[in-house]
A and B are shown apart, each in its own frame.
Chain A
């Protein structure tokens, strides 16, 4: 007999090598391409915004857990790191540092820890932080340093509205899409990242790359991103076909704003999305529809953050009503 005692525990006696931590760090890896693009486009300011958000999220988690809640500190599980990165990705690159810190406090303190910490939060923490800032500081939160000047892809310090902002404003002034489209970046530029907007939503391509990595690593499934983007595409296409002078084409809707970032990284947050594939599809359709309604008819040019938060609230209900089919619940086959 060996010197150490024999362990007696119930089956199963083996475990897959996946852990929550590995999943979290896979998400971090997936965010790297978009982060590199943001540094290329915005330079040092992107680095500052991201670092401040990450550090404040982790520090707030540490302080609150250690001194306020007096529970185990979980800063190494990677979730605060992801919240920090995602919050930064949803902010304009020139945002004052103190605002970033406030956003982090709201994300970690209010949206995550007051609900019970990782796994218990109903709303996506990074988005709660972002929306809090957007409502509190609307001017600063919509001053977008732009990388796009007259189709020349020159990195510049000029601030301007996002493409969706330009469209919304133009349409409100009574302009047609033909007139407006001269002032927004081409779809190709949007794909590679030479547009204006928040830090992480620059390059659709970089985000898709990260998203595919997550799908390949089975951290997320295709259901939410594909359904969400398809919903946005189909809905905006219907309006565009009906009146192309009044509605932007579906490609613009897909490639601008936070559609891709939201679809791959925000809506797919494991904790705040449904458990079943069926539920995920319903959830994603809901986000898509609300996003398009806000973009086309709401006061804000972009609505995916609100859409995701609204649908987050429905997740418990979705989980309740879209359960997996129980084996043998209904007999499909008859004896041949």
Chain B
């Protein structure tokens, strides 16, 4: 029996059409748009000015506080504008626009250095370096990594969990990274184990990536204390709480963190970024992005500089196909539909999904037939139909009492609802209202 989380979950068509496509290097973008808020928390503070020449990897916006992160220039070039542009959130956000210097050789230098296994830095320095390198959770939540790693004295911590689940349909960025950078990832894991004094690590990978599981199993040795766990394919297993439950049978308490059960979870992409930062002194300026969609000419995985406009990515795979109706930043379950393609790739962009007519439109909502399917699939043990109802009626106190805030917005309820009810839309609305209600109370 493969491990998985026991309550809820769905299995949408996987559609991992790019899983055999090796990660290619994206053509260097002529202009990059680098938002200063690519992470959860306080936006970074701009440290450059228009007409400044910047080097690749140079800090262009400094961390705005503890819950923030540095932003580095992804290219060598000249700052042309400090402007507000629409980012993936759909809102206008402050952005640093840099024109790439196409003559500068450093822009073309390969960042794939030979494997370096010896760890020379001390734990304290490792954590500082991660902070300096602007590393945030690359699984999509973009939580600043150094915050996650700042562990209070006396916290019991016994497992480092590496999230290689990639349960979102279509996306293959983590999958390819695990295949192509397995040894680097193992070193990255060892760096974190060393820095945090943890002696057990588990890499959780869903069983539809058997080749990645094999690759890791081949290269780890017994002394590494790293286990590879094959998981049953089930969405949303990549959710932190679901993954911890699946691997260790530990349940993160309501409103708690994995830390509360002695676990720290990092995405494989983040681990690779940590490896690059610690071993090769490369800050987070590029990441793997899956550019995919059933109708695309040549969907594939790419190393993409942060700030690259999505237009560039789509052009790279042969342009927008006829009949495109939706462009999603991320996967089909939790990704965000974007209005226009000038939006840049940020640290949290794991994929660009192009959806055509037949999949893009939603069914017309009908009456709830109280089938209970949403209750069945909710991995958090909530009652989505009830939460939607309460949100719709503005009964936020009640919604809060029914644990609306613990919803992880995985969208399983909306996915299964046979009456096409927009459950998650209303639950999000309810969550925001509860948040507002709570802040006005305080």
Contacts and interface: CB of A to CB of B under 8 A. Distances in A.
Nearest to A270: B371
Contacts of A14: 12-13, 169, 332-333, 359, 415
A233 B291 CA distance: 58
Nearest to A120: B367
Contacts of B250: 333, 335
A6 B10 contact: no
Interface in B140-180: 156, 158, 169
A70 interface: no
Contacts, number: 171
Nearest to A328: B254
A328 B363 contact: no
A12 interface: yes
Contact of A16 (B12, B248, B368, B424): B12
Interface in B53-90: 90
Contact of B381 (A18, A77, A117, A327): A327
B294 to A, nearest CB: 11
B325 A331 contact: no
A274 B386 CA distance: 13
Contacts of B256: 328
B230 interface: no
Given A14-B333, A270-B369, A326 B381 contact: yes
B370 A8 contact: no
Contacts of B253: 328, 331
A19 B325 contact: no
A7 B360 contact: yes
A321 B65 CA distance: 46
Contact of A328 (B10, B252, B320): B252
Given A18-B416, A326-B382, A276 B367 contact: no
A173 interface: no
A272 B332 CA distance: 33
Contacts of B363: 15, 19
B55 to A, nearest CB: 35
Contacts of A23: 369, 371, 418
Contacts of A10: 336-337, 422, 424-425, 428
B251 A331 contact: yes
Interface of A: 1-2, 4, 6-16, 18-20, 22-23, 77, 117-120, 270-277, 323-329, 331-333, 335-336
5 cross-chain pairs, A with B, having the tightest CB-CB distances, nearest first: A12-B411, A275-B372, A119-B367, A328-B254, A335-B262
Given A276-B372, A325-B381, 14 more contacts: A2-B325, A4-B323, A4-B357, A6-B327, A7-B325, A11-B328, A12-B415, A13-B359, A19-B420, A20-B366, A118-B369, A275-B383, A327-B381, A335-B261
10 contacts: A2-B322, A2-B323, A6-B324, A6-B339, A13-B326, A14-B12, A14-B415, A15-B414, A19-B363, A327-B7
